[in-house]
Amino acid sequence: MIEGNQKTGMDNNRDVVSKQMNAITRAMFKLATNDFVRSELPNLDQYVKSSMVAMEKDDPSALEYALNRLYIQLHIAGSKYSPSERKLLSIRNGYSCYPGGLSPLIMAEPFIKSESIVVDLGAGNGLQGLLLQRVYPHQKTLQIELSSEMIRVGRIFQQALGISDDRVEWINDDIANVSIEDVDFVYIYRPARPFGSGQELYQAIACKLAEVRKPLIVFSVADCLAKFLDKRFSIFYTDGHLTCFFKELEVR
């Protein structure tokens, strides 16, 4: 059962949100100032400087804007597909590498515990999952991604953040092929267009989520999952960008 203060969110207590944003900011700065990361993204310096200027001016709006720009630059690193990967992406009617934003990172705090197993379905370079692991350390983060190049970059990000290999598993495969039965927190940003073969992918994902035999939280950005999920899933938060589902533990 979700506690009342978890259900709302996201109560957005200013001190808590400020603490989370500080942790996210430090993690992004650690990435953006790492030599190996900068070799992949040589234009990062301007985004770091903009963020630092906004911090020095103590301008929350300017800082939010600058951090989002930095986040987007980090998110796109390695966004390439081999011909075979591109073909499968096309067959799946898939999208490639859309940033989910900072708000899901902040809102995840009540739901990720030290024993949690988190999965990002269509992880890209793993930025979102790595930030979740860095800010809310937990047992394991599964990063499922079709692009081998994005996984290569993601491993660089992981090393830059100092996250040990036992806490992150990179899986270079189609989402539909991977078992997620041990997870208790799912992050997904609309991986495919919700029609044709894309609809088949959502059906496959919904079946995998239904097979999880423990309480489950799903954070879905630009949600297309809702109509495919069974009646055990209920929406406890939505704001037009992020939709959050809870699946109760089955009683037999």
Is pLDDT of 6 > 70?
no
Give the tens place of pLDDT for each residue, 189-204: 999 998 888 999 999 9
Mean per-residue pLDDT, 8-16: 56
Mean per-residue pLDDT, 16-39: 91
Is pLDDT of 58 > 90?
no
pLDDT band at 8 (very low <50, low <70, confident <90, very high): very low
Res 9: pLDDT: 46
Mean per-residue pLDDT, 159-175: 97
Is pLDDT of 127 > 50?
yes
Average pLDDT, the chain: 91
Burial class (CB in 10 A: 0-12, 13-18, 19+), 169: middle
pLDDT band at 37 (very low <50, low <70, confident <90, very high): very high
Amino acid at 245: F
Contacts of residue 47, Cβ cutoff 8 Å, sequence gap at least 6: 32, 66, 69, 70, 73
Q: What is the reported pTM?
A: 0.91
Secondary structure E strands in 72-224 = 117-121, 140-145, 168-172, 185-189, 216-221
pLDDT band at 104 (very low <50, low <70, confident <90, very high): very high
Go through the domains of the chain in sequence order and give each one's CATH number. Answer: 1-252 (3.40.50.150)
By the 8 A CB rule, do 198 and 93 touch? yes
